[in-house]
Structure 1
Amino acid sequence: MTARPPVIDPRAQTALRRLEWQLRRRSVQTLLAGGYRSVFRGRGMEFDQVVRYEFGDDIRDVDWNVTARLGDLYRKVFVEERELTVYAVVSDDPALQFGSGAVSKREVLLQLAALTLMLAVVNRERAGLLHVTPHGSTAFPPTRRRARILSAIAGLFAAPPPDPAPPQPFVPWPLIAQQAPQGALMVWFGEVPATPPPPEWAAFRRRHPVIGVRVEDPWERTGPTLAGVTAYDPAAGQLVWLQASAASRTAHAAWRAEREARWAAWWPNPADRLVVGADEDPLTALVGFLRARSAGALRDAS
């Protein structure tokens, strides 16, 4: 369903102010703006047409074959030089409520989604949001209006965490294919999907560039370092005993390898997937990823 931007409640307003302060304090506009190409799109993904070269155009886009044939400078135009829509999809999986430290994976993931939408505004892109939970979805249509995007982010922060033990498995992806704006850059935030990608996933990725973003808890990377610890499993709704033994380390390594294989199956290109540690700074990780991705696109097109 499509909802109007909600009234910003105090908790969400505090979170928004903190993120906006981070953007201003660290001069992200200066880091990412510069030039006429967005950090989200690089040099474009799909050739569209050739047009006459004009002063100020990138010389690397010159089509030398057409130029030689017509006797005048012509350059290539890519689809993503047109208006771009950045569409954030937050897959609010109950498993995101896990956290072995000061913050849960969900808290960090919501910050990453909010920062992505804010950076899209900085780069003068249209931005939209789809928030998917086991109980339904809320969509905010793409817009360039800063106030509406901030209201959408506030609604995301204000939404209560989903029930950690839903009655049915959480499968959010079919909803995305129905609501994805044509040609939009999809930025997916969530857990590692529990199943391999469906057959139609490859076709979806051809229609839309898709970036996958997930948050990893320190325990997911290394396992508990203590001799033994009791932890609460939100999905099972019970306490479990975790022990750092040789058997548990072997099991953890196998679990992690299978998980990474599934992640790579959904996003085969390493440039399209970002993993942020729950103990990392979300803004630093996101800015570094987008700059590296943009630089890689520039090298590939040169």
Structure 2
Amino acid sequence: MAARPPAIPERALKALRRLEWRMRGRRVETTLTGDHRSVFRGRGMEFDQVVRFEFGDDIRDVDWNVTARLGDVYRKMFVEDREVSVVVVFADHPALQFGSGTRTKRDLLLELAALVMLFGALNRERVMLIHQTPGGTHAYPLARGRDRILAIVGALFASAAPDPLGVDRLPLPLVRHDIPRGAMVVWIGEVPDDPPPIEWRAWTRHHQVLGARAEDEWERDGPAAGPFTAYDPVAGRVVRLRGDAEARARHAAWRDQREARWRAWWSDPADRLTIGPEQDVLEALSLFLRNREKSGPTRSYR
């Protein structure tokens, strides 16, 4: 269902203003904007027409068949050359509330979602937010302009974290018919528990879908050697954890299965972003976008 953004709480508004100032720094501007208007490099969407090639156009768009027939260089123009839609899907899983350091995974990913939407505002894109929780899904329709997008980001910042003792299953990261064809979809959340369904491959042919997650140090390396106690928010009790060889082997097997699911959903390394607890979120997003720009021609999404 569509939801109306509430007024932005003052604490969230201050955080958003700090993010805006960081984004507008000289280094971020020069590394992320470039010649193309969209920082998300969504070229190759729906074909529109053929136009004469001009100095500065991307040579990857040259239509060699038309060029050979007419004796002059022509390039393909796509719908996204004129307008881009950025859709952020924030999968608010209770497991995101885990964090062995000073910040939870949810804190990191909320900042990431805000940055993606603020980049959209900065580059005059249309932005849509889909907020998935165990209690339901709230969709904020496509919006353009700083104030409207800030209101959507503020609504996400103001949302309460899901109850860790509640239902821990979310919809799979796909497939809504109200997402514009050819949109750039940035899915942000926990690694899905299930492998992708058969519809996933077909749906990703019509959209660019990027996956982003946060990985805690314990998830990556396992707990330190030796037994210790910790509070399990899902079980609602204190548990005793072992750090012996058997526990480390089980952790390694769990991690292998988790990474296999992550790669099954996003098989192209250029389409998946993992943020560690020691990373600066803005720097991680900046590096990710620069690497995507260097990764070569974009697939055609029709």
> Partners in 1 of 2:137 and 2:186 — Cα distance?
16
Is it true that 1:73 corresponds to 2:70 in the alignment? no
Which residue of structure 1 aligns with residue 154 of structure 2?
A: 154
Query: What letter corresponds to residue 95 of structure 1 in structure 2?
Result: A
- Give 1:81 deviation, angstroms: 2.2
Is it true that 1:241 corresponds to 2:235 in the alignment? no
> Partners in 2 of 1:164 and 1:175 — Cα distance?
23
> Partners in 2 of 1:268 and 1:62 — Cα distance?
28
- Give 1:51 deviation, angstroms: 2.1
> Partners in 2 of 1:8 and 1:299 — Cα distance?
37
> Partners in 2 of 1:174 and 1:270 — Cα distance?
17
- The 10-residue stretch of structure 1 (259-268 or 73-82) with the greater mean CA deviation from structure 2: 73-82
- The 10-residue stretch of structure 1 (176-185 or 200-209) with the greater mean CA deviation from structure 2: 176-185
- Aligned pairs for 1:60-209 (under 5 A) are 60-166=60-166, 168-173=167-172, 176-209=175-208
> Partners in 2 of 1:51 and 1:26 — Cα distance?
34
Residue correspondences, number: 300
SS in 2 for 1:297: coil
Which residue of structure 2 aligns with residue 222 of structure 1?
A: 221
1:2-22 deviation per Cα after TM superposition (whole angstroms, max 9, x unaligned) = 122210112211221221232
Which residue of structure 2 aligns with residue 278 of structure 1?
A: 277
CA contact (8 A) 1:50 1:77 kept: yes
- The 10-residue stretch of structure 1 (73-82 or 118-127) with the greater mean CA deviation from structure 2: 73-82
- Give 1:272 deviation, angstroms: 0.7
Judged with a 3 Å threshold, the aligned counterparts in structure 2 of structure 1 residues 297 and 83 are, in CA distance, closer, same or farther, namely farther
> Partners in 1 of 2:181 and 2:35 — Cα distance?
25
Query: What letter corresponds to residue 74 of structure 1 in structure 2?
Result: Y
- Give 1:24 deviation, angstroms: 2.8
Query: What letter corresponds to residue 83 of structure 2 in structure 1?
Result: E
> Partners in 2 of 1:296 and 1:208 — Cα distance?
18
- Give 1:26 deviation, angstroms: 5.4
SS in 1 for 2:296: helix
1:48-93 deviation per Cα after TM superposition (whole angstroms, max 9, x unaligned) = 5422224543344332332221122211223432411010000000
CA contact (8 A) 1:95 1:164 kept: yes
CA RMSD of aligned residues (A): 2.1
Query: What letter corresponds to residue 101 of structure 1 in structure 2?
Result: G
CA contact (8 A) 1:129 1:140 kept: yes
Structure 1 unaligned blocks of 5 or more: none
- Give 1:248 deviation, angstroms: 1.0
SS in 2 for 1:211: strand
- The answer to which structure has the higher helix fraction is 1
Percent of pairs identical after alignment?
Answer: 58
> Partners in 2 of 1:282 and 1:174 — Cα distance?
22
**TM-score of the superposition, structure 1-length normalised?**
0.92
- Aligned pairs for 1:30-49 (under 5 A) are 30-41=30-41, 43-44=43-44, 48-49=48-49
SS in 2 for 1:77: strand
> Partners in 2 of 1:266 and 1:64 — Cα distance?
34
